[in-house]
Structure formats: C-alpha cells, structure tokens
Amino acid sequence: MTDAVVEVRDLRKTFRVSERQEGLAATLRSFVRRQRRDINAVAGITFGIEAGEVVGFLGPNGAGKTTTLKMLSGLLYPTGGEARVLGFVPWRRENAYLQQMTLLMGNRTQLVWDIPAADSFRVLQEIYRVPEDSFRKTVGELTELLELQELVHKPVRNLSLGERMKVEFAAGLIQSPRVAFLDEPTIGLDISMQVRIRRFVAEYNRRTGATILLTSHYMDDVVALCKRVIVIHHGQLLYDGPLADLAERMAPFKVIVATLHDGAAADLSVYGTVVARDEGRITLKVDRQIAPERAARLVNDLGDRLTDISVEDPPIEEVIDRVFSGERVGTAP
C-alpha cells in the first residue's frame, strides 16, 4: 500500500437480512423459519486518498457510501478486504486513531440535547484530552467560521435544524481531526445554510489541511468542494478521478444552447438532438467529438438570426443520473 492517508483495498461488507412476504400466513411462517438473504452493500472497492484531499463520494441511495464511511471510521467490521486510515486499521478503534478522526452524519446528533453545546464541548475536550490552549483556539476558530456566538449557550434542543447542524460540526471537530468523514453534511438544510456549511468545509480544509471524504446528494456540495470524486453503484466502484473529467468519461456528449430571434420556428435537428426548446432558446445534445464543429456550423449557417450560443458539459446531476440509470454510453448524433 502507498503513503496515502486513506487506503482501501478490496473492501467488502455483506449484510444478512431476514425477509418475508406480507400477510399473516407469511408472518407466522417467519416465526418458525426465517428467510435470509445476503446483501452485498460494499462489493470490493479499492481506492486511496492523499493528505489534504477533499473527495466526493457519490452514488444513489443504497450504493454503499454510508457503509463504506462507517467501516472507514471504525463503526463497522468489514466482511472482507483491508483498509488503513492514518496507518490504523479503523475497526480496531484504537484511541490513537479515534483522537484524529471524525465521522459527521448530517441526520444524527451526538450532542446532549438538554444542555448547551458549550458544555458538551467541555466534555468532548476532556474525552479527547485537548489541552486548554488548543481547545480555546479551536473553539474560537470554529465559533468564528460557523458564526456560533449566539448558539453555543442555548440548550441544543432549542436550536433550529440548521443551527444544530453548525453546532454538530463544531462538536465533531473539537479534537482537530486529521481525517473527516462527512455523511450528507447539508441534508435538510436551506440553501443559504448549505452554502455556509460548504464554505466552512472548504475553509476548514484550507486552514488545517485535513483530509475529507464526503457524501452528498446535493451536487452543489460536490462541485463546490471536491476536485476529485469516487462514484460507486451497487457497492462497486464506477469512477475515480477528477470531477472535471467525469462528464467526459461518463457522458460522451456536450450541450449546445443556441438562442435565436425567431427560434420558435427554427428547426435545428440537423445539428443535433433537440432536448429542450424554450421560446427562442434551443438546447441540443451533440456528440462530444463533433461539438465544436457543429457549433461553428450553427454560427455560420444561422448568421444574424443567432443572438447567443454556448457549448457546455451536461449538468453534473444529469451525468450522475445517467450513470446510475445505466445509460452510461449516451448516444448523440
């Protein structure tokens, strides 16, 4: 294995679940004899993450993202394969490892509901044995970055979801972890709170050089934070590389948007597949290789009728959606 901060080789996790049909008879039968089925949540994935990287971990619900994060943080024992984080085998849960790592789950709380966060921070300070001066410095920075001044002295149960999430972030970072696993850190938050959390994660990574692996269903999180993404589906790795190349690899077409004076009447189907038409604004899907040539022809042929034209990668959501729906090799004329 390399010197990477996170090293994963052929990691697997199989869950055994009991199943039964609906209805009383099936319920009674299940008392006597249980039907069990193995689910390969993670079916052998291999990757590495270097120090200071922010990597987006993408996949549809049930792809195995959270299971992988749980194994890497030490919560779950794998069924097979190897992993090392900061040189530790995570599921041994050695204190030396736990002190340098955090797992933040957007939909879970780790603070004590009935007391103000500031008091929970003190408890965490002792648990993680953070010296007083570093504690003050870290809390000061987190308070500033996350704008927590007003929030830390209220009982956690009196905070709104967004406020609580910010405080949860601070609580998860009291020990200044070198590795952070973030599972849906912006789930359920409004747009402005999402933007703040995103900005915070980027700034935190810049200031501390922490390595971050995050999952999110909001592609904006990924676009804003991750240069690199790892895509998994059905527990298997589909793509690992720069976010910028994902569209190129996974969607072999570009989108040309042409705006015409008299667009409502124009027929541009000879240049590519018309996928949308909004008054004079026409969106075409064109094979990646020939996109520049088609755009040039459009400019040439339409001349003054054209008021605007752009050639873009398809929206990242669309790329991901295609990957997950099995349409990886999108065809275009």
DSSP 287-305: EGGGHHHHHHHHHHHHGGG
DSSP code of 220?
A: H
- Angle at which helices 161-172 and 117-127 cross, to 10°: 20
Look at the block and give the residue holding tokens 């919560």. Answer: 75
CA-nearest of 242, 255, 225 to 318 is 255
Shortest Cβ distance from residue 77 to other proteins (Å)?
Answer: 5
Using CA atoms, how far apart are residues 293 and 307, in angstroms rounded to an integer?
19
Under 8 Å between Cβ of 106 and 124: no
Tokens of 52: 């200071």
Nearer to other proteins, 214 or 268 (CB): 214
Shortest Cβ distance from residue 69 to other proteins (Å)?
Answer: 10
DSSP 107-120: T---S-TTSBHHHH
Nearer to other proteins, 10 or 119 (CB): 119
Shortest Cβ distance from residue 25 to other proteins (Å)?
Answer: 23
Shortest Cβ distance from residue 59 to other proteins (Å)?
Answer: 18
Nearer to other proteins, 181 or 271 (CB): 181
Adjacent-strand bridge partners of 211 = 179
Using CA atoms, how far apart are residues 186 and 162, in angstroms rounded to an integer?
9
Nearer to other proteins, 101 or 256 (CB): 101
The separation between the first and the last C-alpha atoms of the chain, rounded to the nearest angstrom, is 44
Nearer to other proteins, 22 or 126 (CB): 126
The footprint of other proteins (CB under 8 A) covers 15, 70, 73-77, 93, 95, 98-99, 101-103, 105, 108-110, 112-115, 119-120, 122-129, 155
Using CA atoms, how far apart are residues 233 and 15, in angstroms rounded to an integer?
16
Coil, helix or strand at residue 313:
coil
Q: Could you give the count of Cα atoms lying within 13 Å of 125 in the half-sphere of its Cβ?
A: 15
Nearer to other proteins, 99 or 205 (CB): 99
Nearer to other proteins, 59 or 74 (CB): 74
Shortest Cβ distance from residue 74 to other proteins (Å)?
Answer: 6
Shortest Cβ distance from residue 100 to other proteins (Å)?
Answer: 10
Residue 5: what residue type?
V
Nearer to other proteins, 124 or 247 (CB): 124
Shortest Cβ distance from residue 168 to other proteins (Å)?
Answer: 10
Shortest Cβ distance from residue 152 to other proteins (Å)?
Answer: 14
Tokens of 130: 């953070």
